[in-house]
Structure 1
């Protein structure tokens, strides 16, 4: 995800908070929105990898490749490191290719291919994508099961919408703090009077500022 997309997404979420969530202040609706947004993000991530997998299924060819190098790479884009396997092989046109199998490679698959050994890979010349055959086979078997997770998130959000709608969230004007009331208007939780909540919000704000400058 590019910085531009992240900025647009941040502005969109901020606008959604101020113009929708603050107007329709049901706790159930807020929780439903939160779980739905996370579910959509997971589906978006899934769809990107799904397109790569579909391209490999359609255009990929099975070739033997020589493992020339292996390393684990940490990137800013993900909290999960990439298990990178560098491969040397000859494609169907007789050209020598050096490529990396990364991102989808699991720890077990990474550990199972020693340097200097030939392994079976799937190569998509159209996109220049390479996967270990073991990674490809696992993805074919497991990929659709990933959708169970966003489905569960949506159901949890729906449950919150049904059972927590009687609670209302109100803002302390001029501050970032909020308080929660039940259907009788009784305050059941107040950020402004909770030292723990105030500390968490401060830490979260500092963390976001640090992340922004780190980019």
Structure 2
């Protein structure tokens, strides 16, 4: 029962400042070490009182790469009538000695962007109306490229809690969805996925491939 979609990284032209920052912080450094989950930042918009007739959605990631979730509004899944950022998350890593030594300079060269990125939570908790389909596009942003977007739509049930996770392993990304219960157990969620193919040479509107229903 597949609840994940995979994507490959796509390179972008990076600015000189970002390239310098990446060099200073050591792109070829050993695998990142992360702070324990209990020390990871959480942005909670729900708190203790869940509005009646709504469901909880958690947006999270397993990586220091920034993961952005855009909610798609409208019935055109590749050409949305509107879209807005639902969450931006990032797993907080333990800086290496090199990163600690150059952090101030790197933040200066990035015009403060590094400090803003480091403040991002690992998990954002929000609520959405129940029994109405909601669609998201998720993208992982790395130093010199992106992975995604990956697309997913599902219909949350009242008082249920769901986890959307955009995970990145350095080569590819995957978008997963699970329903969570009070015992922290998870179960698959009925949802749909699709792809948006760009026109020839980037000309024309994207073509919807799918959606595929996953039970």
> When the two structures are superposed, what TM-score results if normalisation uses the length of structure 2?
0.20
Using CA pairs under 8 Å that are at least 6 residues apart, name the structure with larger relative contact order, 1 or 2. 2
> When the two structures are superposed, what TM-score results if normalisation uses the length of structure 1?
0.20
Structure with the higher fraction of residues in strand conformation: 2
Structure with the higher fraction of residues in helix conformation: 1
Larger Rg: 1
